[in-house]
Amino acid sequence: MNLPYWLLRLLPMWDYICPKCKKEVAKNSHECPSCGERFPFPVRVPPKVLKDSKALENYVHQHIFPKVSPLHRAYLTQFFTTLFSDGFETGNFNNWTGTDYLGDAPTVVTTQKHHGTYSAYFVVSVAGRWCVVYKTLTEQTTFYMRFYFYLNSEGLDDNDLMATSYIGIGTTTTIVRAKIRQVSGALRWAFEYKNGSGTTTETHASAAPTLGSWHCVEIGAYIHSSAGWAKMYVDGNLLFDKTGLNTGTSGATRFEVGVADDVATAYVDCVVVADTYIGVEEEVVGQPYISRVQFVQGMRTFG
């Protein structure tokens, strides 16, 4: 992988390991948390991020992406893997594995769109039904799904907080799912995530979707029996960041978007599944991609 020089400068120069068990330790540590060995200094070795592509992806996501501008994030995505993307510009669901619904079937329409000509339209006209489209991929243990969501109408009951209209991803057992709830007459973003044998749903105290507006929603997770994590972003803002989870041992294979459980109508567009953070789309009028001039100017600004 040929990385730009400015990115190399942001990567760690060295890793530090225990001289006995060879496991990674903190730079200034004097005792190994794994084997208990005491030492005056840890052993300095070349960083694994330059030898392991997955370690590099994880490091860039966790330490680089939060610090750089959207311009740089857009540039960096070329070095990582997009697993699936679809803006419904084929006018159908041929790029998806299938649809799943009870009641109204999902459709592709031109009525509303975030980008291009088409978007997907989902309807739940009776509580307890669902309307989704899904994509089956090979098992993913670290994944993000970004999509644009336009809530056209909703009918959630104040007194039935567990009945939710949701968009999200997961397997037959939910790993992560974005939700919308109504609390005392007000809409709120909510997040469901796997932890152990069940799932937990949290509702944000103030962040709310706006009816009749596009929102960029991104959810992701890392599968691990004790160090798993789950995240949810809305419009580029991190609303939920859960760590130290038991998200299981099997990765996600089913990725779906749509609405379910309560009466609602919504549009979805610009869906991307990747193995690293994706972020919001860049709004560049008349120019769908970052030009060489824009990138060079961004590099100078970055320093």
Domains of the chain in start order, with CATH, are 82-274 (2.60.120.200)
Q: Are 220 and 191 in contact (CB under 8 A)?
A: no
Q: What per-residue confidence (pLDDT) applies to 103?
A: 93
pLDDT in tens, the chain (303 residues): 556 666 777 788 899 999 999 999 999 999 999 999 999 999 999 888 877 766 776 677 667 766 766 667 666 666 667 788 899 999 999 999 999 999 999 999 999 999 899 999 999 888 888 899 999 888 888 899 999 999 887 765 543 333 344 455 565 688 998 998 888 878 899 999 999 988 999 999 999 999 899 999 999 999 999 999 999 999 999 999 999 999 988 888 889 999 888 888 999 999 989 888 888 875 533 333 443 344 444 444 444
Neighbours of 211 (CB within 10 A): 12
Model pTM score:
0.69
pLDDT above 90 covers a percentage of the chain that reads: 49
Which two three-digit tokens encode residue 35? Answer: 């084997």
Residues 245-269: b if buried by 16+ CB within 10 A, e if exposed: bebbeebbebbbbbbbbbbbbbbbb
> What order of strands is seen across the sheet that includes strand 198-203?
98-101, 130-140, 252-260, 165-169, 176-183, 186-195, 198-203
